[in-house]
Structure 1
Amino acid sequence: MTFESSHREPQIEPRWSGRKDKRARTPIANGTRLIMADGRSLWAKRFTEICSAHCADLGGFDNLSQAELAIIKRAATLQVELEALETRLANGEGKIDLVAFAQISNGMRRLLETVGIRRRPRDCTPNLAEIVASHHNDAEMIDARAEQSRVDEMVEQGCDTRAEESSVEEDTP
């Protein structure tokens, strides 16, 4: 005997899910803005740049969930504020609270780790052109060493290397 429940899990959809009119939603919800500001201030421009860069690192805006986007926005906020503190310090406008700076930095790091920031190993594998070039350079090096050893032997035997080299050049077609 199987037990079947008539109870179903409710499917939760946003209230605007069926709407096509973007004006019915806020600028943040319809994707035209990242923050509820006009975006002309230096802070807002830098915030938008940072959000865009982080979104691009994670595969683009369309590939992010709303939760990931929220975390990116919080990390971008912290990053803009850290940059403002760094600017104050660099301009000699007084001291900053380094403990607060470290706490904000750690908070930003944790947020970025949550969305997937990680160390990416650099590809050290040589490509075909590099392999061919290294073999070509090795062959040239072997030829140069052979030539040098031939000259060294001639010097040991007391031969005039300049005369020998000119006769060698005449013999080659």
Structure 2
Amino acid sequence: MNLTANTSSSNSSQEKGETVVCRGVEAHTSGPMIKVGREAPDFRAVNAKMEEISLSDYKGKKVILNIFPSLDTPTCALSVRQFNARAAGLTNTVVLCLSMDLPFAQSRFCSTEGLNNVIPLSVFRSHDFMTHYGLQLADGPLEGLMARAVIVVDENGKVCYTQLVKNISHEPDYEATLKAVQ
């Protein structure tokens, strides 16, 4: 009977994935975050024109995936502004800003803010991203949205850097991300 209890507990924590803090409450992701060295799984996301864009569309470029809950929160909006400003000086690099926000809201935010160096993409119907990257919040106050994370994919499609921001209200480490791209 103890063995069964331990197995259940083990499976339960495995299902919860990574642990983050969301509005002062512990929350868990839907699975483990992708690891450095792995090939980045392809995924589809939706742009402002409601067209599906794939990670593979950027093969041969370095790709920064800026993943966050929603542009309607101050920290998420700030991260998009920061990556927009910092991306201007990067060569052969694209910044994809991924959230569950609808493409219309993402487009409105970027055009209102004058952000031209990032590409907002919605993963609201991207089951392949949810499955392979494990960053959807499985519980907590923002359940169903994405955790805050940054993933860098090199020109060959390999993950060369990951950063899961443990407290969702904090910004990612921009300098560490940019260093991974150089």
TM-score by length of 1: 0.24
Higher strand share: 2
Could you say which structure has the larger radius of gyration? Answer: 1
TM-score by length of 2: 0.24
